[in-house]
Amino acid sequence: MPEHGTAYLNTQDRDALISRWSEPHRKYHDVRHLNQVISSLSVLRSAGTPFDEEAVQLAAWFHDSVYEIGSPDNEERSASLAETVLTGRACAPEVARLVRVTATHTADICDQNAAALCDADLSILASSPSEYAAYNSSVRDEYSGVEDDAYKAGRTTVLNHLLDMDSLYKTDYGRTHWERRARENLRDELARLRG
């Protein structure tokens, strides 16, 4: 159970979201991923990264709240869920906007809220080699219904897209502390896929 961010959710809404994050088809986009994102937001906050705590924490809770493997509209449906659950709250439009940004992770450096959320969402890429291997295994398990050749082709496209970005991370902390390790992990994975 995530320990952070719950101050912005009532018990009923938090439990409903935890149920979504605990769906059996999720092998990577599960409660562990939610915890990773929330913990990484805490790291960014402790490092002095500015962002709207309420909106970004709630966006973390909602960003993969709707998750069907291979569906192109998960983020849009997650954003719609956020708008519904948070109806009447001043932060609702910003939460929904941030959830939609996670579809591409193309946040502008000046967009502090989106930069923090996207960096936290991608923080797993900068993990230790063993943690990255576990992440890789979880992603492959999530796509267990996809044949190896198709999975390798799709994953290669994703990795190349990430490596082609000028910077994976938009916050100062992310660029300083996560960028190099993440690129090493991505290049190593790409080499294994090609090997």
Confidence of residue 72 (pLDDT cuts 50, 70, 90): very high
Q: What's residue 108's pLDDT?
A: 85
Question: pLDDT tens-digit profile of 30-43?
Answer: 999 999 999 999 99
The residue-averaged pLDDT of 9-36 equals 96
- Cα end-to-end span (Å), the chain: 38
Asked if residue 70 lies in contact with residue 14, where contact means CB atoms within 8 angstroms, the answer is no
Letter for the amino acid at 49? Answer: T
CATH, domain range 6-194? 1.10.3210
| 3-class DSSP state of 118 | helix
Distances from the Cα of 176 to the Cαs of 8, 50, 165, in angstroms? 30, 16, 16
Residue of 188, 101, 88 lying closest to 180 (CA atoms): 188
